[in-house]
């Protein structure tokens, strides 16, 4: 049996045992045997770097011998501030209309280019009149003719009424003669022939009355028919004038052309687009308020609008919807912004801030905020027993001086330095600082 392989195996096993099992002791033994280098001299630069590092490190709060932690605190008193409802929205033109043609015709006016400013009543498109003028002249001629026949027709009524009166007088005379003849024949002074003649005269007079009455009714009917003809002719004149007026398409209000007007020579049919006119002064800013905040918004409330390019303008709430959008459950709100220089365009993204009713809030530095173990945002306060207490808060809005917080008592002592080193129930010794102004 050879001894060398056996010795080699024992040495390898001992080395592996030292590396795996007794690794820490082996490294410590090696470090003790290694020569230690002399410490490098501390230069002025290194000393300055150490001082800067020490100055940048946050100071640890001092702890008294009895476990009381020394902290910095401030006594804050709530104040009433105006809160804001913040929305995202976009600008919309106050008025926008697509001016359509109401008549058929060829455009005979030079086109106006988009971007041009037009006043109310300015001509946008002029159509070829064609035979419209002739139709108007014909309608006016018929109206004149009908009106000319009116005196003659009106005169026939008195004539017919006079004939009726004459027939009634003759009937009365015939009735008197018939009555006299009947009395004479009773006394034997008249013959039957005379009585028959007087009765025939009465019947003839009655027939004349009926004929005269028919003449009066015919005269009145003729007058009514003439008046109907006059009204029809007048309607034809008005219709022809309306058709001529429709040949001139004008701007309904002052604004900007969003599109070119119809090109010269193009044929427009009823319903064809002539031009699109928008009004940007004042301009609307539209947003949607969630149902949780809609009660805080009122019509007439003041607001501010900030556009994506940084432009900011004052606004006023002019409309708040009473019905929610069925999909988003939000309410449409519109604000009006003065835009005399037309710098604000239609469709720009805007941040809307609407002033709401004031609430009580504390103004504190943002560094005073902290989180508890559950991740709730709040501050560390000092209670009556001089112990630290966590109080959750709600951030209303930020300001250059700090943040406005709600959810705290009207007066509270808030830890501003050292709040991260204490928990609820830890005794503290506060050093008060001036409240932020």
Q: How far is CA 253 from CA 84, 116, 177, in A?
A: 35, 13, 82
Q: Contact, 276 vs 108, CB < 8 A?
A: no
Q: How confident is the model at residue 32 (pLDDT cuts 50, 70, 90)?
A: low
304: left (phi over 0), alpha (psi -120 to 50) or beta: beta
Q: 83, exposed or middle or buried, with CB in 10 Å at 0-12, 13-18, 19+?
A: middle
**Domains, the chain, ordered by start:** 4-29 (no CATH), 69-81+359-433 (2.40.420.20), 88-92+278-358 (2.40.30.170), 97-127+250-277 (2.40.50.100), 132-246 (1.10.287.620)
Lowest mean pLDDT among 53-62, 103-112, 315-324: 53-62
| 309-358 pLDDT, tens digit each | 888 999 999 999 999 999 999 999 999 999 998 889 999 999 999 988 77
Task: Choose among 283, 287, 296: nearest CA to 331.
Answer: 287
| Cα separation, 301 vs 91, whole angstroms | 18
Average pLDDT over residues 402-415: 91
pLDDT tens, 120-141? 999 999 998 888 788 888 888 8
For range 294-320, the mean pLDDT = 91
Average pLDDT, the chain: 82
For residue 61 the two structure tokens come to 């709060």
What pLDDT does residue 232 have?
87
* pTM to 2 decimal places: 0.52
Hey, which residues does 73 pair with through a beta bridge?
A: 415, 432
């Amino acid at each position: 049996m050879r001894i060398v392989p056996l010795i080699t195996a024992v040495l390898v096993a001992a080395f592996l045992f030292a590396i795996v099992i007794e690794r820490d002791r082996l490294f410590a033994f090696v470090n003790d045997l290694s020569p230690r280098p002399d410490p490098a001299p501390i230069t002025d630069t290194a000393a300055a770097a150490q001082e800067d590092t020490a100055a940048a490190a946050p100071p640890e709060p001092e702890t008294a011998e009895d476990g009381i932690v020394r902290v910095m605190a401030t006594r804050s008193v709530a104040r009433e501030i105006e809160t804001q409802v913040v929305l995202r929205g976009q600008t919309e033109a106050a008025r926008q209309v697509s001016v359509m043609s109401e008549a058929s015709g060829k455009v005979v006016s030079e086109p106006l280019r988009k971007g041009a400013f037009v006043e109310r009543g300015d001509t946008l498109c002029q159509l070829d009149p064609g035979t419209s003028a002739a139709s108007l002249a014909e309608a006016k001629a018929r109206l004149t003719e009908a009106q000319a026949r009116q005196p003659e027709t009106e005169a026939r009524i008195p004539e017919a009424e006079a004939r009726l009166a004459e027939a009634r007088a003759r009937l009365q005379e015939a009735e008197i003669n018939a009555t006299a003849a009947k009395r004479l024949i009773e006394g034997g002074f008249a013959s039957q022939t005379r009585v028959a003649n007087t009765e025939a005269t009465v019947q003839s007079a009655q027939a004349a009355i009926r004929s005269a009455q028919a003449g009066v009714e015919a005269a009145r009917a003729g007058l009514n028919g003439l008046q109907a003809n006059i009204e029809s002719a007048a309607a034809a004149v008005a219709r022809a004038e309306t058709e001529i007026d429709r040949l001139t398409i004008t701007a309904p209000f002052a604004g900007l052309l969003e599109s070119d007007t119809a090109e010269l020579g193009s044929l427009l049919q009823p319903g064809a687009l002539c031009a699109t006119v928008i009004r940007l002064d004042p301009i609307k800013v539209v947003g949607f308020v969630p149902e949780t905040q809609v009660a805080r918004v009122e019509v007439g409330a003041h607001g501010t609008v900030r556009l994506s390019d940084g432009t900011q303008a004052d606004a006023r709430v002019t409309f708040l919807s009473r019905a929610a959008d069925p999909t988003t459950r939000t309410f449409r709100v519109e604000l009006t912004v003065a835009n005399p220089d037309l710098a604000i365009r239609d469709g720009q993204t805007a941040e809307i801030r609407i002033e709401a009713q004031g609430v009580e809030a504390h103004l504190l530095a943002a560094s005073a905020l902290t989180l508890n173990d559950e991740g709730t945002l709040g501050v560390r306060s000092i209670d009556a027993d001089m112990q630290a207490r966590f109080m959750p808060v709600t951030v209303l809005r930020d300001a250059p001086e700090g943040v406005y917080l709600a959810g705290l008592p009207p007066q509270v002592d808030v830890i501003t330095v050292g709040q991260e080193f204490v928990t609820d129930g830890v005794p503290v010794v506060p050093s008060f600082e001036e409240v932020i102004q």
